[in-house]
Amino acid sequence: MRPRDMNRDWIATARTLSQALPNMQRYDGATVVIKFGGHAMVDDDAMDGFARDVVLMRQVGVNPIVVHGGGPMINDMLARLDIKSEFVNGKRVTDAATVEVVEAVLSGRVNKRIVQAINRQGGRAVGLSGKDSNLMICEQTDPALGFVGSPVALDPSILRTLTDAENIPVIAPIGAGRDGETFNVNGDTAAGAIAASLAADRLLLLTDVEGVKDSQGRILTEITPEQIRALTADGTIAGGMIPKTETALTAIEGGVRAVVILDGRAPNACLLELFTDHGAGSLIRPVR
């Protein structure tokens, strides 16, 4: 690259940083809950990129809180242990043996990998699960599913303590039952419940799709809860997008200011959403 071209690149970088200032000021002190999953979790470069973005968010005054999934890793470990999975209406039946594996994988292998990635980038990440400090108390979702739980009571005080000390919480979606049970919780559901308990400014749901699409397949960059319900009713929103939009609606009803469904495969997706006017993915919020 010629020196002149390099100079142009640096000028463009400086201009981008300057243009980001108003958005950085807007999110100073804001709580942003990020559901991390999909492709980025199994790709080392994508993991490092996500970790770097989270550390930058913390550096400029945002309070990021990461909630992660880990379905592919759970499937891999169950296969290694020759534990067969049964499904009811597309959902995994989680018996006593399975929930032990789920907790070990999510709270151990997956959680600590994300924590280490953030710490390598200069952050101060702390790993925990919904069982710690009674963060997430659950009830059984459906007896037919076994130890699959729905959050019914949350105490986010431990998260406030951690963020006040400039730590980055990284949460495995494992909940505690009132009688000492361990429950596997859907990652999106856990992230939505945690975001609502904190009245978060933003809930970012990272996925392997670009966002919510209309009937012509175009990305809807901004959409209201009422439009979500209408698109679901007419079948435009279908399949795996339904649980994500349902999580978004529940989170907004619970006090989250806005939810964004965005493509976690895109480099710097979180930074684009928060710190540029263009944003990324589909922003869901009530009509002002």
**pLDDT tens figures, 50-102:** 999 999 999 999 999 999 999 889 999 999 999 988 887 667 889 999 999 99
Highest mean pLDDT among 138-152, 199-213, 258-272: 138-152
264 assigned to some structural domain = yes
> pTM of this prediction?
0.91
Rounded to whole angstroms, the Cα distance separating 239 from 219 reads 16
pLDDT digits (tens, 9 = 90+) for 206-223: 988 888 988 888 888 899
208 assigned to some structural domain = yes
Domain region containing 168: 25-284
Q: Please state the three-class secondary structure of 15-78 as a single string.
A: HHHHHHHHHHHHCCCCEEEEEECHHHHCCHHHHHHHHHHHHHHHHCCCEEEEEECCHHHHHHHH
DSSP 132: G
20 assigned to some structural domain = no
7 assigned to some structural domain = no
2 assigned to some structural domain = no
Domains in the chain: how many in total? 1
250 assigned to some structural domain = yes
Residue 141 token pair: 């979702």
CATH classification at residue 235: 3.40.1160.10
3 assigned to some structural domain = no
252 assigned to some structural domain = yes
* Three-state DSSP class for residue 153: strand
